[in-house]
């Protein structure tokens, strides 16, 4: 799924924090706790500090928004993990689940750094001219979630950027959101590359120790946890949200990324604010076991899948090249290719 960038009139921190807090409660782990971003500082949000943080961020950036005639207090960047990574997180052991979450968040961290380095531009207006400058002192907060609106496993983060940055005179000005939107494909590449490196380094893709022991002989038919997760993901048992979006798109006969966003908005359901993750995880494991038992693996070479995110990374690079050829830019000029 692509990275999505949009404006928000308010932060709605309490809404986003609800699922993160429920994820972290049974594990008492910082792997799920909301994370504050401020320049090079990354720190978990402390209990009881949510409202104070939202008020502080809104106050700091309010004058900049008023001066630049902007109505959105925050810019939201949604960063979804590939389906099979979400499935792996949903069926993993507790320690492996935390490792997958931390790998995902390392990708979010890389995206924030890329935005601050390459896409945090502000417009400076004077009596005679208007021009752009690279902004500094970018602030944000990240909330990590684990479910889709249909309660399938869907690891993703909502990165809320305060809509202002400092110009060369240390004056706060609203961010140019269109620059961040334009860079969404490259930000997706940054995210996937960091996620892939961290997953491989954590060792959660090799062997079968990462998945829940209840898979037993079903899991042992596969070479590694990566192969198990990809088999389940491609079976379609956790694609209800995607199916609803595609069904709506087929009615309109449009297939562009904009049409997909419109369809996603039209078909979205309200999330249950009270989620029982132990119950959901048990359901995900049982659904996954049924998917594996139905799979026909007579022609499959056990242990053949060790690609990580190579397919996803190649797909995004191809998309960037196609767009850059159309607009005369080059993939090699972007830090996303590092």
Which of 233, 211, 227 minimizes the C-alpha distance to 83? 233
Pairing of strands 165-166, 74-80: unpaired
Mean pLDDT of 85-105: 95
Give pLDDT, residue 166. Answer: 86
Helix (H, G, I), strand (E, B) or coil at 121: strand
Contact 64, 159 (CB under 8 A): no
* Residue 189 β-bridge partners: none
Residues 295, 153: Cα–Cα separation, whole Å:
20
Mean pLDDT of 118-135: 86
Residue 299 has pLDDT above 70, yes or no: no
**Distance from first CA to last CA of the chain, Å, rounded?**
21
Highest averaged pLDDT of the listed ranges 143-152, 187-196, 213-222: 187-196
Whole-angstrom CA distances from 177 to 156, 180, 184, 251 are 21, 5, 11, 31
Residue 257 has pLDDT above 90, yes or no: no
Maximum pairwise Cα distance, the chain = 73
Residue entry with tokens 């409202």: 51
Residues 196, 42: Cα–Cα separation, whole Å:
21
Confidence of residue 171 (pLDDT cuts 50, 70, 90): confident
Residues 120, 9: Cα–Cα separation, whole Å:
19
Residue 303 has pLDDT above 70, yes or no: no
Give pLDDT, residue 218. Answer: 84
Residue 210 has pLDDT above 90, yes or no: yes
Confidence of residue 190 (pLDDT cuts 50, 70, 90): very high
Residues 88, 153: Cα–Cα separation, whole Å:
9
Higher per-residue pLDDT: 53 or 315? 315
Mean pLDDT for the chain overall: 83
Q: How many CB atoms are closer than 10 A to CB 238? A: 24
Question: Among positive and negative, which fits the CA dihedral 146, 178, 141, 135?
Answer: positive
Each residue of 264-274: b (16+ CB within 10 Å) or e? beebeeebeee
Which of 151, 26, 154 minimizes the C-alpha distance to 87? 154
- Which H helix or E strand runs over 41? strand 41-44
The secondary structure of 152-220 as a DSSP string is: SEEEEEEEEEES-EE-TTS-EE-B-HHHHHHTHHHHHHHHHHHHHHHHHHHT-SSSSTTB-GGGHHHHH
Percentage of the chain beyond pLDDT 70 is 80
Least confident of 47-56, 222-231, 289-298, 299-308: 299-308
DSSP, res 147: E
Polymer length in residues for the chain:
338
Contact 97, 199 (CB under 8 A): no
Mean pLDDT of 265-285: 79
Residues 59, 51: Cα–Cα separation, whole Å:
12
Which of 4, 169, 2 minimizes the C-alpha distance to 75? 4
Residues 94, 291: Cα–Cα separation, whole Å:
22
pTM of the model: 0.85
Q: How many CB atoms are closer than 10 A to CB 5? A: 22
Mean pLDDT of 21-48: 78
Q: How many CB atoms are closer than 10 A to CB 259? A: 15
Contact 215, 228 (CB under 8 A): yes
Read off the tokens for 331.
């993939």
């Amino acid at each position: 799924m692509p990275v999505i960038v949009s404006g928000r009139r308010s932060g709605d921190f309490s809404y986003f924090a609800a699922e993160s807090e429920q994820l972290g409660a049974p594990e008492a782990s910082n792997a799920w706790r909301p994370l504050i971003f401020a320049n090079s500082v990354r720190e978990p949000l402390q209990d009881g500090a949510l409202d104070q943080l939202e008020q502080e961020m809104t106050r700091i950036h309010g004058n900049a928004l008023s001066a630049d005639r902007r109505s959105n207090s925050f810019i939201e960047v949604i960063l979804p993990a590939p389906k099979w990574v979400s499935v792996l997180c949903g069926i993993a052991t507790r320690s492996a689940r935390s490792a997958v979450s931390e790998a995902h968040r390392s990708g979010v961290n890389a995206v924030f750094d890329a935005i601050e380095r390459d896409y945090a531009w502000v417009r400076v207006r004077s009596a005679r001219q208007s021009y752009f400058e690279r902004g500094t002192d970018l602030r944000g907060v990240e909330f990590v979630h684990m479910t889709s609106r249909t309660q399938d496993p869907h690891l993703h983060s909502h990165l809320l950027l305060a809509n202002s940055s400092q110009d060369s005179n240390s004056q706060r000005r609203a961010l140019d959101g269109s620059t961040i939107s334009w860079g969404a494909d490259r930000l997706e590449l940054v995210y996937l590359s960091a996620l892939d490196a961290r997953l491989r380094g954590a060792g959660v893709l090799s062997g079968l120790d990462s998945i829940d022991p209840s898979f037993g002989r079903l899991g042992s038919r596969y070479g590694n946890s990566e192969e198990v997760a990809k088999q389940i993901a491609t079976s379609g048992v956790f694609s209800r949200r995607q199916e609803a979006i595609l069904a709506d798109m087929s009615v309109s006969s449009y297939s562009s990324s904009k049409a997909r966003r419109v369809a996603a908005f039209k078909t979205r359901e309200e999330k249950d604010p009270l989620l029982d993750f132990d119950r959901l995880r048990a359901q995900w494991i049982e659904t996954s076991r049924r998917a594996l038992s139905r799979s026909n693996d007579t022609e499959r070479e056990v242990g053949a899948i060790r690609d990580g995110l190579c397919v996803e990374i190649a797909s995004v690079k191809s998309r960037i090249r196609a767009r850059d050829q159309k607009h005369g830019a080059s993939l090699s000029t972007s830090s996303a290719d590092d």
